[in-house]
Chain A
Amino acid sequence: MAQVDFHERQLTLKLVYFGPPLSGKTSNLRALHARVDAAGRGRLMTLDTRDDRTLFFDLLPIFFRTSALSFRIKVYTVPGQPMHEATRRIVLQGADGVVFVADSSPTQAAANLEAWDGLARALTDLDMTVPIVVQYNKRDLVDAVDLAGAERFDDPARRLYPAHAVTGDGVLTTFFGALAATWDALDASLRLSQRFGLPRDAFLAAVCAHVGGDERDIVPP
């Protein structure tokens, strides 16, 4: 759950990139980190676990003059290797939104499903309900699965975000999609728009400016 300090008028969001091994979680995070001007983000932190790693960084506080509210966004990846379940759980704790990075290779369909089941199990065990957006990464593969018929993970109406994270394509679109879903979920419980007079679109536009993005990358869910 987002940490809200109403006294300091500061809100911290935690976004976690989850997915099977080698699906491109780290590439997403690196692309995002590289995209943001050094003045707008913290250093990329690497926590080495055996045979895998957890990466994260903080976006520096984004200040909203109109509502005198500041936001900070923490972005994490989890290690994808099956043996790191405990680490995945600890990283997932306190998350406000999850980006599920699926692999577009047809040979990875089973790995995608296995990771999704792991995510669902971890969230159940942690007693968490968070919005999840699904990205299909590696769209450059010649045999990439057709998105129209791709697995939608328990939700036939789910929107799928295509990406090619190594080049940065689709990384921001996914990020904003996840932020929008996270905002909606938090707004429902914390009434953010009403309390601070800050509508979702203004929030997304401000984050977009902060990370040096193009507003066309914002595709509301």
Chain B
Amino acid sequence: MDKMKTQSFVEKVKSQLNKIKKENPKINAVLQVNKDAIKEAEEIEKKIKKGKAGKLAGKTIIVKANINVKGMNISCASKTLENYKAGYDATVIEKIKKEDGLILGIANMDEFACGSSGETSAFGPARNPVNTELIPGGSSSGSAVSVAAGFCDMALGSDTGGSIRNPASHCGIVGVKPSYGLVSRYGLIDLSMSLDQIGTFSGNVDDAMLLLNVIRGKDEKDPTSYESKEIKTEKPGKIKIGIPDIKADENVWALVRKKIDNIKGIEIVKIKLPHVELAVQTYYPLVYTEFFSGTRKFDGRRYGKKIEESCGEEVLRRILGGKEISKAEYHGKYYRKALMAKAVIKKEFEKAFNEVDLIVMPTVPRLPHKLGEKISVGEMYSYDSLTIPANLAEIPAMSVPAGRVEGIPAGLQIIAPRFQESGMFSFAKMLEE
């Protein structure tokens, strides 16, 4: 619970709503505000005063527009679902509400999570609050911008190939992608069901851990979810950190090295992950195919518009690409081959974790480009080349601020073995301190 000595929770909510009203037109992070927020804050404050409030009492949360929040417009930042109102709460939202977290609004994003820059939103791109000429990263662009701009305490996003860690890195905040199966995906409008995970954004490591502990756990409505232990930070003994030999902007690498070189009591060793270079090539056939399959429900008959007639270019590219793969798949050339490559990458990480406790590298291989600047599809896809591997290996990874290159934030990525979020957070806490 927040220790608010001078400001009540209701006052804090009012102040954040005012900030959104004043600053959101410039950075376009929030698509919809919860009109009952003040009323709900008053109820939570009563519970706080009685000492009966939940673990998230005093915290405000903004949710990516692909996670169902009952009664809110869950548009996936697309014209396809422009007027779609969620009929139920996703499991993560039920858990947040049960612990008295306040949902403050719905965040902008890349359309149907198809993008790495935030620019594919049908409602205009969110802007990086550090420098509004730059992209904030994506696809959970509005969630990251909302936290970085101080609109809320925490935010939810989804991460299929880096969609939480990439914007967290560009906006200078903490972003966590949990192990596949740690958090229920029930109520998430999927991009690629075998890779998607819901995760957190926050200004610090403790808030990330608090929110992740609330939303984790097995859910009967998501058969891929698992029981898990409470995530805790502890003073670790000697930690062995693996640094892979991978390409990234040299200034970003220098920040990452400087940050970990300052930590006492760790051993740093070089490791090799040769197949990680094929991560992008492995990821997109999987995403195209699963996205094509997942979007067949958007036929305009029960809700929304037919997706092929109302979506933007990147969404259409993935649908048509997925359709082509599905038609040709009897050869096993695309999807099956990509699944095989995924298994190889997963094994490569398992082998690496026999030698080291954690792996550290830059979150994004380059600095963000200017909004509207023309870059090729290949360049756009390579933004996620360092974040995709953790999704393919189903392991947890998080981005913490490493510092700035000429005023632009860059993130350091910590990768841990599957379901060993506690070790990952313990090291993140050491870096933060």
Q: Do these two chains interact? A: no
